[in-house]
Chain A
Amino acid sequence: MSNTDSYNSEQNLTQAGGDRSLSLFEKIWEKHIVKTIDGGPSVFYIDKHFIHEVTSPQAFKGLEKRGLKVFRPNQVVATADHNVPTLNQHLPIVEELSRIQVQTLTENCKKFGIELYGLGHPYQGIVHIIGPELGVTQPGMTIVCGDSHTSTHGAFGTIAFGIGTSEVEMVLATQCLMQSKPKLMRINVEGQLNKGVVSKDIILYIISKISASGATGYAVEYAGSAIRSLSMEARMTICNMSIEMGARCGMIAPDETTFKYMKGRKFAPQGEAWDKAMAYWKTLHSDEGAMFDKELYIKAEDIEPMITYGTNPGMGIGITGHVPELNEISTEDKPSFVKSLHYMGIEPGTTMKGKKVDYVFIGSCTNARIEDLKMVAGFVKGKKKAKDVEVWIVPGSKQVEKQAVEEGINKIFEEAGFLLRQPGCSACLGMNEDKIPAGKYCISTSNRNFEGRQGPNARTFLASPLTAAAAAITGEVCDVRELLAN
């Protein structure tokens, strides 16, 4: 979906030869090239490889067929997340195929010597939440996982991207991938965010401006004062959704906020190793004069709380805006636009405010970290959910769940009538039992509003945790700022 009212300016620059000013991406990229084929891709070295139950079984099968071992098992970390139930995790998984998939992961990890944070383990959780939380994810690394939201880890100044199962097999076998260097884009968000606007709104705003394919072929670096002022968890939300505009990866240069977050985490370097790492990490930023193929400038003040109305994440508007009229859509975009609105049961030209919601899902690798839960708790404290709304809070990991209980956040949820479930991907993709029924509306803090994503014929509005929490209280899509003012 193209949109006309836009960011300030856009420049196209070509790479200058022999310039020593390097971008953050290039600094990490160049350090990981084993060899470049003439006119072709490069053999690209991977530092960390996360795996989960859904996209790995066929890769292990492939290895076995070739009679290979895992090349560097201690650079692989596994967890079970996509398919797991979010209630009664202590019991065997009821759904047979899910159970087999989780078992297969367990067996493969045992056979190939890979560390597994499976169900019941205190570190289990959504793969993109546990990596950073445990300090496995570190600046300067190259990270892959058979999951497109691997871009999340870019918030630490890493090159992190999703791969397919054949590529999972390659990395298991050789710790390398064949990669071509993407083009580079920098998105600068400057200024101060308005009240009620959080990092999810920034990224939904960016995608609504450049479309669901606007960054395909690019590695995106987010910069600018508004990005710098964000916490690590908020930065992860932004990098997480880079893939929703097609980007190969998203990244943010590490700074004091990053180092403070990392210090003392389970697998973060300690003592002398920490000092050495810090000296390197501090070099990880785009040099003055670094070249980008495309550069965008966005004013933080222009961003309102966002909501999506359609079936791709680019179909988003500010909460006071309106769904485009048919005549605002180009001829070639029309068939998809009409199909999308028909699926959503939404009329062109209407406002989203006042749309009734049936379910509220607060979870996923986009927004299920402790800060997200605290944000929601802070807002709903002393309030009650609307009568006909069902609210699911699914923490991103065991550790998030534990902290929520320790800090009494779970009590606040209970009093509000929200259900705190156990960690997993849950209704983000509806692979387990957590599905939104056909025709129902769910306001969701996840990252995709595709047809059927949350269950066959389910309808999804993507929003920030604050906007979702507000909808839980009022029972409809609303402007959270009006509730904050009261």
Chain B
Amino acid sequence: MGVFSTIEEEKKKQLNTAKFQSERKVILSAAVPIELENIDTDQIIPARFLKATTREGFGKNLFRDWRYENNDENKPVKDFALNNTIYSGRLLVAGKNFGCGSSREHAAWAIKDYGFDAVVSSFFADIFKNNALNNFLLPVQVSDAFLGKIFEAINKNPGTELEINLEEQYIKITSTGEQENFDINKYKKTCLLNGYDDIDYLLSMKNEIEEFEKQPTH
């Protein structure tokens, strides 16, 4: 991809590419299902946990109010998927319009910090999708029908593994062999596969941005 050719070689070396490359291409894992629609960012991470000034440690409050009764860590809600030991894995599967609501990136941080590498849903809210991508959390958007099949497979066998291949852009239910392709912006795919983030690219554009500013505006 020529997209990143403008980033100086030096900058490239600094990037932590090794960390992402191999593990990013394919994720093979069981999944944790939350079969609800319109899961908003206030549920993912309630506002009272946004008082931190760092990015770390949000995982322990992920879905806080669905996870614990009366906010009490000693009282986990038994049948909530995150507490249900029959479910495990690095993938979260949820109903449509996942991540609607606030722009808080803390939602993506919490999901990532908890240990998820991808979220599968049939529809994502815009800002959440951007935030996820900026944190190397892969939003995989599938059709309603395929999402139904995933839930069905997990309901039958909670250990069902899903295979997500970013390079080739498909997601597969390993137990049934059914698969579907998913979309991802070409630029963002390169970012994810190589561990680049937007800010590296934008910084490489500084001169062009300054030129742009000289144009007579309105």
- The chain A residues found within 8 Å of chain B, CB to CB, are 31, 34-35, 37-41, 43, 45, 54-55, 57-58, 61-62, 66, 68, 82-83, 97-98, 100-101, 104, 140, 146-148, 150, 161-167, 169-170, 173-178, 180, 212-213, 216-217, 246, 248, 276-277, 280, 312, 332-333, 335-336, 339, 429-431, 448, 450-453, 456-457
What's the least CB distance linking B127 to chain A, in Å? 6
Contacts of B209 in A (CB 8 A): 34, 43, 45, 174-176
Contacts of A61 in B (CB 8 A): 53-55
B134/A167 in contact, CB under 8 A: yes
The 27 listed contacts between A and B (C-beta, < 8 Å) are A34-B209, A54-B51, A54-B104, A62-B199, A68-B203, A100-B53, A148-B101, A164-B134, A166-B197, A166-B198, A170-B198, A173-B199, A176-B202, A176-B205, A177-B202, A213-B100, A216-B97, A216-B125, A216-B126, A332-B95, A332-B148, A339-B36, A429-B42, A429-B102, A451-B42, A451-B65, A453-B42
The one of B50, B51, B104, B123 that contacts A216, using a Cβ cutoff of 8 Å: B123
Contacts of B7 in A (CB 8 A): none
Whether, in the assembled complex, B40 has its beta carbon less than 8 Å from a beta carbon of chain A, the answer is yes
Contacts of A213 in B (CB 8 A): 38, 96-97, 100, 123, 125
B126/A456 in contact, CB under 8 A: no
Residue of B nearest to A56 (CB): B53
The one of B37, B100, B103, B187 that contacts A333, using a Cβ cutoff of 8 Å: B37
Instruction: Name, among B38, B131, B187, the residue most crowded by chain A CB atoms within 10 Å (CB to CB).
Output: B38
What's the least CB distance linking B151 to chain A, in Å? 10
Contacts of B187 in A (CB 8 A): 37, 39-41, 178
Distance, CA A448 to CA B2, complexed state (A): 43
Distance, CA A431 to CA B52, complexed state (A): 12
| A164/B43 contact (C-beta < 8 A), A58-B55, A213-B123 known | no
CB-defined interface of B108-144 with A at 8 Å, one 1/0 digit per residue?
A: 1000000000000001011100110011000000001
Distance, CA A169 to CA B201, complexed state (A): 13
Distance, CA A430 to CA B65, complexed state (A): 14
B53/A34 in contact, CB under 8 A: no
Distance, CA A212 to CA B54, complexed state (A): 31
A451/B43 in contact, CB under 8 A: yes
B218/A140 in contact, CB under 8 A: yes
A163/B127 in contact, CB under 8 A: yes
Contacts of A41 in B (CB 8 A): 185, 187
Whether, in the assembled complex, B48 has its beta carbon less than 8 Å from a beta carbon of chain A, the answer is yes
B46/A452 in contact, CB under 8 A: yes
Contacts of A68 in B (CB 8 A): 203
The one of A39, A173, A457 that contacts B203, using a Cβ cutoff of 8 Å: A173
Distance, CA A457 to CA B64, complexed state (A): 12
What's the least CB distance linking B36 to chain A, in Å? 5
Contacts of A163 in B (CB 8 A): 103, 127, 130
What's the least CB distance linking B13 to chain A, in Å? 15
Instruction: Name, among B65, B103, B106, B205, the residue most crowded by chain A CB atoms within 10 Å (CB to CB).
Output: B103
Whether, in the assembled complex, B75 has its beta carbon less than 8 Å from a beta carbon of chain A, the answer is no
Distance, CA A110 to CA B164, complexed state (A): 46
Whether, in the assembled complex, B163 has its beta carbon less than 8 Å from a beta carbon of chain A, the answer is no
What's the least CB distance linking B203 to chain A, in Å? 6
Distance, CA A167 to CA B130, complexed state (A): 9
What's the least CB distance linking B51 to chain A, in Å? 4
- The chain B residues found within 8 Å of chain A, CB to CB, are 2-3, 35-38, 40, 42-43, 46-48, 50-55, 65, 70-71, 95-97, 100-106, 108, 123, 125-127, 130-131, 134-135, 144, 148, 185-187, 197-199, 201-203, 205-206, 208-209, 212-213, 217-218
A450/B101 in contact, CB under 8 A: yes
Distance, CA A480 to CA B53, complexed state (A): 44
Cβ-closest 8 pairs across A and B: A40-B187, A164-B105, A97-B51, A57-B53, A162-B103, A164-B131, A166-B134, A213-B97
Contacts of B148 in A (CB 8 A): 332
B105/A165 in contact, CB under 8 A: yes
Residue of A nearest to B212 (CB): A34
Instruction: Name, among B104, B125, B130, B218, the residue most crowded by chain A CB atoms within 10 Å (CB to CB).
Output: B218
Distance, CA A388 to CA B52, complexed state (A): 36
A217/B126 in contact, CB under 8 A: yes
A452/B42 in contact, CB under 8 A: yes
Residue of A nearest to B6 (CB): A35
B186/A450 in contact, CB under 8 A: no
Contacts of B35 in A (CB 8 A): 335
Residue of B nearest to A336 (CB): B37
Residue of B nearest to A178 (CB): B198
What's the least CB distance linking A305 to chain B, in Å? 24
Residue of B nearest to A108 (CB): B53
Having A431-B51, A450-B42, one finds 5 other A-B pairs with CB under 8 Å, namely: A150-B103, A166-B198, A336-B36, A450-B40, A452-B43
Distance, CA A173 to CA B130, complexed state (A): 18
What's the least CB distance linking A108 to chain B, in Å? 10
What's the least CB distance linking A329 to chain B, in Å? 11
B127/A164 in contact, CB under 8 A: yes
Contacts of A83 in B (CB 8 A): 51
Contacts of B52 in A (CB 8 A): 57, 97
The one of A58, A147, A150 that contacts B54, using a Cβ cutoff of 8 Å: A58
Distance, CA A277 to CA B187, complexed state (A): 36
Residue of B nearest to A101 (CB): B51
Instruction: Name, among B47, B123, B203, the residue most crowded by chain A CB atoms within 10 Å (CB to CB).
Output: B47
The one of B70, B125, B208 that contacts A35, using a Cβ cutoff of 8 Å: B208
What's the least CB distance linking A153 to chain B, in Å? 14
Contacts of A62 in B (CB 8 A): 199
Distance, CA A432 to CA B43, complexed state (A): 18
| A35/B205 contact (C-beta < 8 A), A216-B126, A332-B144, A333-B37 known | yes
The one of B36, B47, B102, B201 that contacts A148, using a Cβ cutoff of 8 Å: B102
What's the least CB distance linking B46 to chain A, in Å? 6
Distance, CA A173 to CA B186, complexed state (A): 24
Instruction: Name, among B37, B131, B135, the residue most crowded by chain A CB atoms within 10 Å (CB to CB).
Output: B37
The one of A40, A167, A248, A312 that contacts B40, using a Cβ cutoff of 8 Å: A312
Contacts of B125 in A (CB 8 A): 213, 216, 246
What's the least CB distance linking A22 to chain B, in Å? 15
Residue of A nearest to B35 (CB): A335
